[in-house]
Structure formats: C-alpha cells, structure tokens
Structure 1
Amino acid sequence: MQLSLLLQKSILRRFQTIRDFSRKMTQEILCKEAEKIFAAAVNSVKPEELISNSVNFHSNTIEIQGKTFHVNNNVHIVGFGKAVLGMALALESMLKTHVISSMVSVPQGVRNQHITRSGMLQSSHIQIFEGASNNIPDSKSFLAATKIAELVTSLSEKDLLFILISGGGSALLPLPKSPLTLEEKQKVIKLLAGKGATIQELNTIRKRLSVLKGGGLARLARPAQVVSLILSDIIGNPLDYIASGPTVRNTDNSSSPMLIIKRYNLLHEMPQAAIQLLQDIPEETKEKDFSHVNNFVIGNNEIALQAAASQAIDFHYAPIILTSAIKGSASQVGPKLVQMVNSSLQGNCKLTTEIAKEIEIGAESVGNLLETAKKFTNKGTDLCIVLGGETTVEVRGKGIGGRNQELALAATLEFNEIKCVQNVAILLLSAGTDGIDGPTDAAGAFAAPFILKAAKEVSLDAKLYLQNNDSYSFYKVLQNGQWLLKTGHTGTNVMDIIIILVKGTNGENLL
C-alpha cells in the first residue's frame, strides 16, 4: 500500500513536470510568434519600402499616385517626425544630384539607429536635427523648426519642395506664435496630455498656437511647388491633423480650441498667452489657396495590419483584422478586448456584439470574429486577431508607462475576472509601431494569464501598479522585464498594433 502511494505521487510529479514544460513551451511559442507578426507589420511600413513603392523616378520626371512632377536640380527636402530620416535617405538616394538641400527634425537617438541599420547615412548630405525627448517640444526641435522655416521661405517658383511628414511631427516642428514662449507651449501640451486628450484635440490646439502648423509651412513655401509625403499616425488619415497639418489649410471651427480647454477644466491653468491666441481668429484660417500643394498619404496603419495578417497565415493562424480605429482609454479597452474574444470563443453572439459596440468595433467585424471563432471551436484552427489605432491614458497616479503597456496590464488583470474557455491559450501583445511607448524604452507589453500568476508568486499587486499608471515599473520588475517588448526606434510610426493569439492546447486549460 505504501509503495502504491509513493508510485502514485511519483507519477503525479512526473505528470506535473510534463504539464509545466508543455505550458512553458506554449507560452514561449505564442510570444515569439506575436513578436514576429508585429515585426512583419512594422517592416511593411518602413520608410524606405514606402518611398520605393510610392515614388517612381525616370530621368527628369517623378510620378506619385498618378501625378507627375518635373525635376531639374531644383529639389529641396525637409521633414519632421519619427520616420522621416529613412524617407529622406531613400528620396535622396533616388534623386541624387537633383537634390540641392535637405534637412530633417527627428527624435533623439534616431541618427544612431540609422547608422547601425544602414550605410546610407555615411554618404548622405542631409542635415539632421535631433530633439523632442519624450515627444515634448524642446530647444533642439525649436532650432530645427526655425531652420526649416528659413529654408522654405527662401524658395522660388522654380523650386520643388518635398515635405516629409510622419507621427511625432508636431513635437519636432515647434515654432510658437508670439507672445507664446516654447516653455508655455510645453506646459499646454503636458496639461492636455495628462488629461487624456486625444491626438485630434491636441493638434487642434497646436494648429492655433504655431506659426508652421495648420498650413503655415505651406504658406511660407509659396511660390515653390510643394509635394508632401505622409505616413499617417491618426485614425482615418485626416491630413489636417497628421503632425498638426503643416501643409493643409486649417478648417477647424474657430471656437473648437477653447471648447477643448473648457472640456478638460484647464482654463485657469493655461498660460495667458495661450488663451489669448486660442480666443483670437487668425487671418490665415481665411486663406483658401493651397493650389501649390500636393499631399500624398503613402503609409498608414491598414498597410501594417495587412502585413500582420499575412505573417499570421504563415504561422498557420486564421487571421482577422477587426479594426484600424481602436481608441478610448487604454485601461478600459484592454479588458474589453479580453472579454470580447472570450465571449466569441464561447459562441455568445449577443455578449460579443455588446462588448464590441462599447469599444466601437463595427457589426461586420463582429460577424467576422464570430465566424472565425467557430473555426477554432469546430476545426481546431488557431486564431490571430489584429487591431490597430491609438488609445489614450488618463494620468491619475505618478508612475511611468505608456498606453500600450497600460492596455496590456489592464488586459492581464481581466484574465483573473472572467470565466475562460477550456483548453485554450491566449496571449495579447500591444505595441507602438514607432518602438517607443510613452516616456519609456519599451514599444509595448504582453498580456496573458500566466503573467498575472507570475506576479502573484512574487507578491506584485498588478492592480495597484495600474491605478498608479505605473505599468512600466510592473513589467520591468516582473521576471527581469521579459514581458516588455523592446525594439528601440523603428524608424516609422503608424499608430499602435494589438495582436491577440488564440491557440488550442489539446488538454489542460492554459488561460
């Protein structure tokens, strides 16, 4: 009898060891596949690739999306944003001696990233300005904006000006209108961002406070012909909001800026110079002649999502792109995504539809999700659910993190709250395509039930970290930060990507 008990315990220990090994292997596979799917998405919107696909150069002629431009040693290039150095290098390499001058304003550290990745920079004549640490305008990006303004103002009708624009461009092109100072403008942006203002709201304010935004740069460039090549980092690709629309006429309602300030109860915290400018109706908003400007969107979130879906197929997942317009509070969107996917796996159409409606995912996408979930249930087909967009963070605590890490941490907590489908492993990755999530060195983070279990084992209270907006610290402390995704500056920016992988386990529930 004694021997029998010992044998049973030995078998149970061995079974547990095998089960733990199987669980660990599944977790590692999910993480590696999610990383590779994300990398495929980012690579599809690398600036060099997009320029090559969008700009056709033959002798003295450039063709872009069906429109033709003639060049004759008359090209000037300016750019601002997280992706524009790669764009400028590709354009310079293509046009060669036709380029007379070029300068770009990029985030701190981008130059070194390009030196590491490419030899193109060594032979380039592009003047590079680095600044806007943590996506806040500073004296370095102010200098860049001043130099860019001086260059475009000097051009004539014989010149062809390429303006390269990508996400982060607003912070990298700060030239405040008088009497507003740079420090006062910094305060305005920090106050609004701290309240969770959307990018559209932030850029509505920026346009009215800046010399170059809201069409200002294009006005200074007249009479030169302007071609702007744009990587969109805003839902719906609205030209007048990407980098605050420096080449697009400002059509905002004159009362919009002050309504935003009042919405967030910031009237008495704003610098007086900012309030004065936001209340005035500037003369340039009445100007309608932008006939010298040609704007082309050459990259956006949809391109990245399609690439992610293609890579998922290579890993034998059934992919579904739910939306490229996810928005809302990161701490609320994360849990809703977990709930929605779980209810779809259970075949609960009504609940799935209700949850999807709360985070503004359309009926057609919900139908596709439910249909794809049936494949998982009936045929054992693994799923890859992909979303794009950009959430926001309302700052309540004093921690450090970004919207992707906050979304992931909130999603991880939700796994503890729901009744999960059996024999399923799920992992969520939320990350920024620019490689930088908030004021951190991470692009984003993973969410999964095993992450919460690991936190409990070392007495990390995930809920307290979330309440303090301290998602980065949580992930950094937990298992040496292995659930953070760190890519460094990617050289591009088309908002965020969320990847949810669902894999059958043929046995124990790994949720």
Structure 2
Amino acid sequence: MIAIPLKHHCSLLASLQWVMSHTGRFRRSMSEFEETARTPDQRHLAEDIFLSCVKAVSPQTILSKAFQVTNSTLVVGEWTKALNHNVTVVGFGKAVLGMAAYVDALLGDHIIRGIVSIPKGLPEVLLENRCCEMLLKATSRIEVREGAKDNLPDEASLAAAKSIHDIVEPLGEEDLLTVLISGGGSSLLPSPAPPITLSEKHHVTKLLAHRGATIADLNVLRREISCLKGGGLAQLAFPAQVLSLIISDAIGDPLEVIASGPTVPNPTGPTECLDLLAKFGISDLVPSSVIDHLQRKLAVEAGGHDSAPQSFAHVHNVIVGNNKVALEAAEHRATSFGYSVLVLSTGIMGDVHVVARFYRKLTTATCRLLAGFTSGSPPADLVGTLQDVEMAAATVGLRTFPSKRLIALAQTAAAHGRGLCLLAGGETTVEVRGLGKGGRNQELAMRVACEMDACFGTNELTLDDFNMTFLAAGTDGQDGPTEAAGAVIHPGILGQARALGLDPFAFLNRSDSFGFFSAMGGKSLVLTGFTGTNVMDLHLLLVCPCSQVIEQ
C-alpha cells in the first residue's frame, strides 16, 4: 500500500469543497449535449479520436516539421551537413516506408543508395488505404525489403539486415548515413551474433515475452546477442556522419530501447542479460549458444580485454515523433466533439490485470464526480474514492494523479452538459496463458469490460445513468499477431456475450481476446490495417451522463 500524506488528503478535500461551493444549480436535458457526445453508441467517436492521433504522427506530418534543405545543406535544428550526392539511407520499422518516401522527395539525387526493412504487406495496405504519399516512387534509389510477418523476425528480415550491413560498412567520412528508425525495428533488423541462429534468438525472446517481460527487458537481450543493435550499426558506419530520425514507441523515449538502440551506446552488458534470464526463470531453457555467447562476453570484460567503446560523436539522434504528439492531437479532436478532456500520461505501463483495475477505479471516480456536480451533492466517500484512484495510478506508472484537474473538469462538464474524455498512452504487458490469439490492447479492453461489469453487477454504478466507452489500440494498427489494432468496449458487452453463450473468462484463460471479439461479430475490433506509423498505444475513456437533472 502506498501512503498518502495527511496534508495531501486535506488539500484534496479543500479543493473538492471549494469547487462544490461554487457550483450553481441548473437545468440540463439530453438536448443540451453536443450532438456527437450524446450518441448511444460512442464507438465511432472513440475510433475517430484514435484515427486523428494516428494521422498526427504520420511520417510526412512529423518529418515536415523536423528538418529541411537549404542551399544544398541539410538542417536539423542546429545540426547541419553539406549535401553532395553523398547520402545513404537505411531504415527499419513500421513507420519507415513513409519516412523514406518523404526523405527521398526532399533529398532527391543526393541519395546514392538505400535499403528499408518494413513489415510484410505494408505497401499493399497503404495503397488500399490510399496513403500513396507513404510509398516510394519507382525511380527511387531506396530499395524496399518486406519481412517480419506477424511482427516476428524471419529469414526475409534477416536478409534485409545483412544487406543493410553490407552497404553501411564501406562508408567514409564524407558520407552521410541517414537512419530511419521506428517501432518494430527490432524484428526488422535481426542480426544475431554468430553462432546464434535466428530461430534460437526468436526462441529465447519468445520465452521472455511469455513470462511477462517488458519491451525494455526484451531489448536488454536483443542488444547483447545482436551485431547491429546496441550501437552496432553506428559503430559499423564510422567514420561516416550518422543522422538518425526516430519515431519513438517507448515510454519516456529512451533511445537505447527504440528498435534496441542501433545508433546509441549500449547501457547494459552481459551481466544484466544473464540476470534477466535468471529473474524470469528461463536460464535452463534458453539455447546453449546464447548462454555461451553471454559468458564469453562476460569473460572478456572480467579479463580487461574489452576494447573501449567507440565514440558516438559522429552520430546525431533526433526524436521526431512520439506518444505525446499523438495524445495532443487526440485531445484536440475530443475537444472539438464537445468533451472536457484530461490527458493523464504518456507512460501507462504494467500487466493488463493491474491497468484494468486502475481504469475501473478511474471510471467509478469520474462517474461519481459527474453525478455529484450534476446534483449538487457529491457522495460522502468521494474523497476516499479519489485517493483510491491515486494509489491505483501509482501501480501503472502514473506517480502523480491529477485529482484537482479531474475535479475541475468534471465541474465544467456537468455545468455545460458535456461528457468527459480521459486519455492516456503507453504500453502494457500480457502474460500469455494459452494458445489463443490476441494482443495487449484487445486483452486490456476485455479486462476493462470485466471490471466495469463487476461495478454494475454490484450496483456500484448504474447503466442507465452513464454512457461509457473504453478504447485501447496500437497506433501501428497491429495488436499482437492479429489484424486488429485493438478493441473498443462498453459496460454491457459481457452481458451480450453471455446471451450468446460465450464465457469471457474462458477466452481470457487461453489468451484469446481476438477470438472473443470475433465471436461477438467483430464489431468491437478496431481495424485499421498497418497505419505506417508507431508511437505505442492509446487508451481512451469516454463518460457521458444520460439522465436529465431537474432544477431543485
């Protein structure tokens, strides 16, 4: 349990009492709601808000703000490089095709060669979605390689990584290597250190993932058993200048985590990697080639024979897009629909069980606030409810929960007949328990539905009082090895499932969230196809009061 200082309790109570004392009595009916906010089915609104944030972090949008060419000089902030038909372009990730198209159009003949490794099928999806601006022209000198089907490294992405290695290695000091990096880059740039094979690397990564390892954990392993990750690509390019343009898919934008940090120094070593394998109890399950490789590196370090890390002074890394940009766009879109909006965090993390419980407590507090400000008499335990949310927030990476801001927005929403939109970004984890098909966002949506069902099942809330929608989706358009980006749910969905003879918990026990939503008809799935970008996930909670309140 996390202790909250008494001073904080008093401050929260005083804030609540002040805003309640300044709340006038008013008449409100459903006709006063914004047209879009009062719809019985907010699913389309939630999806619209999600798509607006995806659009805001499209490669063309963010790169157009990041750099420019002036008098044959590439300018990125204060960093400059003279262009003289000396540019090599490499890239890997779910967003790099659109990035490459923009860079190709901007730099033109200054590009002499290039290779980008992208998810299999991405060009076709972008073409179907009429995103032609994300496609390279037939005359481009940048070669496109497709691989990593279902977001897993394969022989095609391995071959692409080898080709990238081969064109980078001979570069000289007059050359400029432009590296395009985005989420998914680890799977698209597999280069296991010999004698480790790709299948062995995949096996140990899968073992960690199934034990609930975070992306950061996986990248500790990937950096240690790869030739190009953990700064390997940048060292290979020396003495050429390296410009890395990065779309972040990691909480806090740590460069060593995004695509396993191919252009930054490796902050961890073999000791941390061996400790990680022990922590998750898989040391005896991983291939011997992996253990032997790590122990050899450890022996070299212990003997003092390891060469000093090469300087990274020739590298300029730039974050051009991240989850914060996406949330700002979502906030703007939700506001345009008439919602009062609160952005909670870009760093929601943790197991979906824990995150779902947080959203249950947040939903309960939000509904009680709206009901209280509408009636003029909040429940006596509201302060305790908000303290409960604060403690739950700390378990999902949100150290400081904005209680005062939530209170003020609820007051405004009630006074103007609006709904509340609560936004967050981040990346959760899932422990795979069965042979089902799903992803972290679909499972989170299912578990939030279960938590909401528990609320309404105990009369904690009443379905007739509030219209609620929760969406969890990945900005890359692919949630796990499925064709869905995520899912959007409402509190009554489990009742509908039971009416169809479906047991939601049976699906959860076999990690089959995609199977559950498909069995429900698929209407709750968020289906975008590959979006051409990737800045982690978006969580969205819409809450609108449904009842009329008569002036007292």
> TM over 0.5, yes or no?
yes
Q: State whether residues 249 and 285 of structure 1, in contact with CA within 8 Å, keep that contact through their aligned partners in structure 2.
A: no
Q: State the 1:277 CA deviation.
A: 2.0
Are residues 161 and 135 of structure 1, via their aligned partners in 2, closer, same or farther at CA, if it must alter by over 3 Å? same
Q: State the 1:185 CA deviation.
A: 0.6
Separation (CA, whole Å) in 2 of partners of 1:493 and 1:139 = 23
Q: Deviations over 1:298-326 (max 9, x none)?
A: 00000000000000011001111100000
Specify the alignment match of 2:64 in structure 1.
Answer: 52
- 2:402 is paired with a residue of what secondary structure? helix
Specify the alignment match of 2:236 in structure 1.
Answer: 220
Q: Deviations over 1:472-493 (max 9, x none)?
A: 0000010x20000000000000
Q: 2:324 aligns with which of 302, 311, 315?
A: 302
Q: 2:501 aligns with which of 452, 459, 463?
A: 459
User: After the TM superposition, which residues 114-133 of structure 1 pair with which residues of structure 2 at under 5 Å, given as runs?
Assistant: 114-116=126-128, 117-118=131-132, 120-123=135-138, 124-133=140-149
Separation (CA, whole Å) in 2 of partners of 1:406 and 1:242 = 24
Specify the alignment match of 2:17 in structure 1.
Answer: none
Separation (CA, whole Å) in 1 of partners of 2:398 and 2:192 = 38
The reply to whether residue 471 of structure 1 matches residue 513 of structure 2 is yes
Q: 1:391 aligns with which of 408, 428, 447?
A: 428
Separation (CA, whole Å) in 2 of partners of 1:360 and 1:161 = 36
Specify the alignment match of 2:22 in structure 1.
Answer: none
User: After the TM superposition, which residues 428-443 of structure 1 pair with which residues of structure 2 at under 5 Å, given as runs?
Assistant: 428-443=470-485
Q: 1:87 aligns with which of 84, 99, 103?
A: 99
Separation (CA, whole Å) in 1 of partners of 2:356 and 2:307 = 39
Residue identity in the other structure for 1:130: E
Q: State the 1:136 CA deviation.
A: 1.4
Q: Deviations over 1:123-177 (max 9, x none)?
A: 3332111111122111000000000000000211111110000000001101110
- The RMSD of aligned alpha carbons is 1.9
The reply to whether residue 423 of structure 1 matches residue 437 of structure 2 is no
Q: 1:181 aligns with which of 197, 205, 210?
A: 197
Deviates more, 1:93-102 or 1:332-341: 332-341
The reply to whether residue 231 of structure 1 matches residue 247 of structure 2 is yes
Q: State the 1:377 CA deviation.
A: 4.2
Deviates more, 1:433-442 or 1:284-293: 284-293
Residue identity in the other structure for 1:330: V
Separation (CA, whole Å) in 1 of partners of 2:267 and 2:48 = 41
The reply to whether residue 61 of structure 1 matches residue 73 of structure 2 is yes
The reply to whether residue 505 of structure 1 matches residue 520 of structure 2 is no
Q: State whether residues 420 and 544 of structure 2, in contact with CA within 8 Å, keep that contact through their aligned partners in structure 1.
A: yes
- 1:390 is paired with a residue of what secondary structure? strand
Q: State whether residues 393 and 401 of structure 2, in contact with CA within 8 Å, keep that contact through their aligned partners in structure 1.
A: no
Specify the alignment match of 2:173 in structure 1.
Answer: 157
- 1:129 is paired with a residue of what secondary structure? strand
Q: Deviations over 1:403-430 (max 9, x none)?
A: 0000000001111111115621110000
Residue identity in the other structure for 2:147: G
Q: State the 1:352 CA deviation.
A: 2.2
Residue identity in the other structure for 1:336: F
Residue identity in the other structure for 2:522: G
Specify the alignment match of 1:271 in structure 2.
Answer: 287
Specify the alignment match of 1:361 in structure 2.
Answer: 398
Q: State whether residues 434 and 492 of structure 1, in contact with CA within 8 Å, keep that contact through their aligned partners in structure 2.
A: yes
Specify the alignment match of 1:73 in structure 2.
Answer: 85
Separation (CA, whole Å) in 1 of partners of 2:237 and 2:327 = 35
Residue identity in the other structure for 1:45: V
User: After the TM superposition, which residues 284-303 of structure 1 pair with which residues of structure 2 at under 5 Å, given as runs?
Assistant: 286-303=308-325
- 2:516 is paired with a residue of what secondary structure? helix
Specify the alignment match of 2:39 in structure 1.
Answer: 26
Q: What 5-or-longer segments of structure 1 have no aligned partner? A: 1-21
Identity %: 40
Residue identity in the other structure for 1:42: V
Q: State the 1:69 CA deviation.
A: 1.5
Q: State the 1:65 CA deviation.
A: 2.4
Separation (CA, whole Å) in 2 of partners of 1:500 and 1:285 = 52
Q: State whether residues 322 and 366 of structure 1, in contact with CA within 8 Å, keep that contact through their aligned partners in structure 2.
A: no
Give the structure-2-normalised TM-score.
Answer: 0.85
Specify the alignment match of 2:206 in structure 1.
Answer: 190
- 1:54 is paired with a residue of what secondary structure? coil
Q: State whether residues 332 and 407 of structure 1, in contact with CA within 8 Å, keep that contact through their aligned partners in structure 2.
A: no
Residue identity in the other structure for 2:206: K
- Runs ≥4 in structure 1, deviation > 4 angstroms? 282-285
- 1:114 is paired with a residue of what secondary structure? helix
Residue identity in the other structure for 1:430: A
Specify the alignment match of 1:16 in structure 2.
Answer: none
Separation (CA, whole Å) in 2 of partners of 1:87 and 1:350 = 44
Specify the alignment match of 1:18 in structure 2.
Answer: none
Deviates more, 1:321-330 or 1:499-508: 499-508
Give the structure-1-normalised TM-score.
Answer: 0.91
Deviates more, 1:394-403 or 1:114-123: 114-123
Separation (CA, whole Å) in 1 of partners of 2:526 and 2:232 = 38
- 2:186 is paired with a residue of what secondary structure? coil
Separation (CA, whole Å) in 2 of partners of 1:370 and 1:25 = 21
Q: Relative contact order: is structure 1 or structure 2 higher (C-alpha 8 Å, sep ≥ 6)?
A: 2
- 1:493 is paired with a residue of what secondary structure? coil
Q: What 5-or-longer segments of structure 2 have no aligned partner? A: 1-34, 370-381
Q: State whether residues 224 and 270 of structure 2, in contact with CA within 8 Å, keep that contact through their aligned partners in structure 1.
A: no
Are residues 357 and 345 of structure 1, via their aligned partners in 2, closer, same or farther at CA, if it must alter by over 3 Å? farther
User: After the TM superposition, which residues 305-384 of structure 1 pair with which residues of structure 2 at under 5 Å, given as runs?
Assistant: 305-347=327-369, 348=382, 349-384=386-421
Q: State the 1:253 CA deviation.
A: 4.7
Q: State the 1:288 CA deviation.
A: 4.2
Residue identity in the other structure for 2:84: N
Q: State whether residues 230 and 266 of structure 2, in contact with CA within 8 Å, keep that contact through their aligned partners in structure 1.
A: yes
Separation (CA, whole Å) in 2 of partners of 1:25 and 1:250 = 51
Q: State the 1:101 CA deviation.
A: 0.7
Separation (CA, whole Å) in 1 of partners of 2:308 and 2:505 = 50
Q: State the 1:362 CA deviation.
A: 3.0
Q: State the 1:105 CA deviation.
A: 0.3
